[in-house]
Amino acid sequence: MSKKKRFEVQTNESINDCLDRMKKEGYTPIKRLEKPVFKEVKGNGHMTYEPVSQQIIFEAVQLES
């Protein structure tokens, strides 16, 4: 059975950099997840949420040798 691992695209790297890092560790991507990141903003007596960035995570399986 394959080992699974998640790789998050860091703030200082591109998606291709993350994919290269996966390949060097012997993994290949099988799924891409994207999650919005919000910040709380106070205004008019209530809290609102504004999107500030997007978190990209790849689910990967180990390549068979």
What's the rounded Cα separation, in Å, for the pair 28 and 1? 15
What's the rounded Cα separation, in Å, for the pair 44 and 36? 24
For the record, the structure tokens of 38 come out as 């919000």
Q: According to the model, what pLDDT value does residue 2 have? A: 59
Q: Predicted confidence band at 43 (pLDDT cuts at 50, 70, 90)?
A: confident
Contacts of 25 (CB under 8 A, 6+ apart): 5
Domain of 25? 4-62
The answer to whether residue 62 scores a pLDDT higher than 70 is yes
Q: How many domains does the chain have?
A: 1
* Residue % of the chain over a pLDDT of 70: 95
Residue 41 vs residue 33, higher pLDDT:
33
Burial class (CB in 10 A: 0-12, 13-18, 19+), 60: buried
Q: According to the model, what pLDDT value does residue 14 have? A: 96
- Residue carrying structure tokens 């996966």: 22
**Mean local confidence (pLDDT), 21-41:** 95
